[in-house]
Amino acid sequence: MSNSAEVKPERLRQAQRRKGQLTRRNRVFLILAAIFLVFIASGYVKNIVASLLVEVVPGQPSVLEEVTKAEFVIIRNEAALAAPFTGRLEILRPEGERVAKGTVMCYLVSEDGTSLEKTKRLAFIAPQAGVVSYHIDGYENICNSQIWPQLDIHQLTDLEKRLGAPMSGDAKEKKVIPGGSFFVKVIDNLSPGYLYLETTSDLGRELKTGNSIEIRLEKLDNLLIRGNIMSVAQNGDKLQLLIRIPNLPETYKLRKLQGHIITNKYRGTVLSEHCLVEKEGNLGVFIYARGKVQWKEVTVSGRLNKKVAVEGLSASDLVITTPQLVKEGQVVFFPRRLSL
């Protein structure tokens, strides 16, 4: 009986040891499996997080413009009328209204003392069809219909000096119009206008009379206008241009405009320079297609101010603008789509 009793505890101890060893092995296995799963999961999480930072833009065609900043003087066909005597203005046709030739626009009233017999009331009639303006800037001397047919660039040399101190202002705001001063004008907004420019900048190409030219006007939401060069002159270090604009926009209150002369154009998809990715000596970009990153070769047609115009893309291509976050063949989740 005693031998049998001694055997059972020994077997029990051996069974418990084996069970403990299995438990330890299971625990190690589970820990290793957990580490492996965390490693795998962290890769996916990292990929998902990186994908959320990836940005794409459509490869739609555009134009990269090389420009030169300039200030333009607007020269229009306008007829200004001066007050023959000092008086008070009575407006019939408001600022900005288009009137026919012969329309009474306003009256100038002069009252000497209190006697009604001494009151003078003179009607001012539109000398031509156009837009009424009471805004006077002093340039009316150069923009009158008498010299309009003979207008050339030599008349505009040192324009500011020739005009002297302009009698500018808004006649609507004045209680009294001084005798001898311009106070109302009619601008022919249907006939071509002109832009005059003096610049010391290199416009990047030879300019000749008759050449076409494109300009963007800042104050008019970068409006693109086209014209033809009527006169070119070199005055010392200054290049002088007189540009004819067939359809000058409504700018009757403005005389000077800031803008840009377009000196060159590069066509293609316009991207930031850092979007380019070199592969085996060739330039290309990463595009997002079917959930993955793919490399596509492009041709650079122009570079300007850290931007490039590239050819070889279609509007359906989604160009990755954050190439530093991805590599070719990588799966990308939920890229953020931007517009060019």
Q: How far apart are CA 78 and CA 185, in angstroms?
A: 7
Rounded Cα gap, residues 290 and 34, in angstroms: 32
CA angle 193, 198, 200 (to 5 degrees): 150
* pLDDT for position 41: 47
Closest CA to 53 of 332, 339, 340, 319: 332
pLDDT of residue 114: 58
For the chain, the three-class secondary structure string (H helix, E strand, C coil) is: CHHHHHHHHHHHHHHHHHHHHHHHHHHHHHHHHHHHHHHHHHHHHHHHHHHHHCEEEECCCEEEEEEEEEEEEEECCEEEEECCCCEEEEECCCCCCEECCCCEEEEEEECCCCCHHHCEEEEEECCCCEEEECEECCHHHCCCCCCHHHCCHHHHCCHHHHHCCCCCEEHHHCCCECCCCEEEEEECCCCCEEEEEEECCCCCCCCCCCCEEEEEEHHHCCEEEEEEEEEEEEECCEEEEEEEECCCCCCCCCCEEEEEEEEEEEEEEEEEHHHEEEECCEEEEEEEECCEEEEEECEEEEEECCEEEEECCCCCCEEECCHHHCCCCCECCCCEECCC
> Over the stretch 281-327, which tens digit does the pLDDT of each residue have?
999 999 999 999 999 999 999 999 999 999 999 999 999 999 999 99
What are 246-261's pLDDT values in tens digits? Answer: 988 888 888 889 999 9
pLDDT of amino acid 117: 58
What's the confidence (pLDDT) of residue 333? 81
Distance CA 11, CA 5 (A): 11
Which domains are present in the chain?
52-64+267-337 (2.40.420.20), 77-188 (2.40.50.100)
What pLDDT shows up at residue 103? 98
Are residues 145 and 129 in contact, defined by beta-carbon separation less than 8 angstroms?
no
Res 164: pLDDT: 45
Sites in the chain below the pLDDT cut of 50: 1-2, 39-41, 145, 163-166
The reported pLDDT for the residue numbered 300 is: 97
pLDDT at 200: 81
Give residue 21's pLDDT: 53
Decide: 335 and 321 in contact? Cβ < 8 Å: no
Q: Which of 321, 80, 63 has the alpha carbon at shortest distance from 177?
A: 80
